[in-house]
Amino acid sequence: MDGKYCTSVNEFLLLGISNNPGVKMTLFITFLIVYLIILVANLGMIILIRMGSHLHTPMYFFLSHLSFSDLCYSTAVGPRMLVGFIAKNKSIPFHGCALQWLVFCTFVDSECLLLAVMAFDRYKAISNPLLYTVSMSSRLCSLLMAGVYMVAIVDASVNTILTFRLCFCGSNVINRFFCDVLPVALGPQERQPAWHGVNASSLYFDNFLRLFVSYCYIILAVIKINSAEGRFKAFSTCTSHLTAVAIFQGTLLFMYFWPSSSYSLDQDKITSLFYTLVIPMLNPLIYSLWNKDVKDALKNLKNKKWFY
């Protein structure tokens, strides 16, 4: 790009979800409640798994990290969005915007990869339950999580560096509720969406293929089980994970592979809102409502005598 078309941007203005004064307070209260549920539910899930001795298994180890990722990327977006409803100054510094984008991308990527790891864990549990704890050792689980975070950090760092090295046009207004600076980046209109699509969707699409293949193996493993009761019990252990995968991956696929001809900013805002705040609220509820072990751990925690 020719340097004369670039401008030095020190801050961005986030327009938020709505500029209608009549609905701002309603939206603020609604999303404050949503964010508090995210905090309580995900922190509660992490603490419950740490305290419940019978939850010290690979499945719940990964689930605690899923809750951690949900908590982190929703916190990267939620508080700043809430401030935008009530603050007169809607600006965010350039480096603050870059940091928000980096943290957000890191933990969205980590959740995406972690769901694939959890599918692999379910396959191991179903295909060979007697050797499950041996094959999914604590060392292997730790290495898998280290790999997830390493890949996520590298991908998010590259994404952030490439994004914030772009030139910006005269306006520094972002018609979003968090720092997605691509709408104001200066570049040929036919190239900018393509770059963003390749950079953002490649990891998610590759991961979707891994999940698809993992569940093909899981289905084959379930079919090999002799009894109908055994098949039902085996597949029921995947129900919560499959639901979480369908919601998360379905939203990402909708965002990055929806035809550009039908694209709209309002549609993009709603979809972004769904996976930044709604999914982190739903995940712990999905795993707690459909999981007998989590329900039992909650009961034990309630019945435990804390004072003697």
93-108 pLDDT, tens digit each:
888 888 999 999 999 9
d(CA 205, CA 279) in angstroms, rounded, equals 19
Confidence band of 267 (pLDDT split at 50, 70, 90): low
**What CATH number is attached to the domain comprising 41?**
1.20.1070.10
Residues 6+ apart with CB under 8 A from 92: 11, 12, 13, 14, 80, 100, 179
Percent of the chain with pLDDT over 90: 24
Total domain count for the chain? Answer: 1
DSSP for 69-95 reads HHHHHHHHHHHHHHHHHH-S--EEEHH
User: How many other C-beta atoms can be found within 10 angstroms of the C-beta atom of residue 42?
Assistant: 24
DSSP track, 3-44? GGG----SEEEE--S---HHHHHHHHHHHHHHHHHHHHHHHH
User: Each residue of 154-186: pLDDT tens digit?
Assistant: 989 988 888 887 766 556 777 778 887 666 554
Interval 218-225 mean pLDDT = 84
pLDDT band per the 50, 70, 90 thresholds, residue 189? very low
Q: Is residue 3 part of a domain?
A: no
Is residue 48 situated within a structural domain?
yes
Q: How many CA atoms, within 13 angstroms, populate the side-chain half-sphere of residue 54?
A: 10
In a domain, 308, yes or no: no
Residue 1 placed within a domain: no
- Its domain, for residue 48, covers 10-303
- The upper half-sphere exposure of residue 30, i.e. CA atoms within 13 Å in the direction of its Cβ, equals 10
- pLDDT at 88 exceeding the cut of 70: yes
Nearest to residue 180, comparing CAs of 279, 269, 72? 269
pLDDT-derived band at 192, boundaries 50, 70, 90 = very low
Residue 206 pLDDT: 75
- Its sign, for the CA torsion 237, 242, 245, 247, is negative
Q: pLDDT higher for 250 or 307?
A: 250
Look at residue 258 in the predicted model and tell me its pLDDT.
Answer: 60
pLDDT score recorded for residue 6: 58
Give residue 161's identity as a one-letter amino acid code.
I
Is residue 248 situated within a structural domain? yes
Q: How far apart are CA 179 and CA 92, in angstroms?
A: 9
- The pLDDT assigned to 261 comes to 47
Q: Is there a domain that residue 39 lies in?
A: yes
Q: Is residue 105 part of a domain?
A: yes
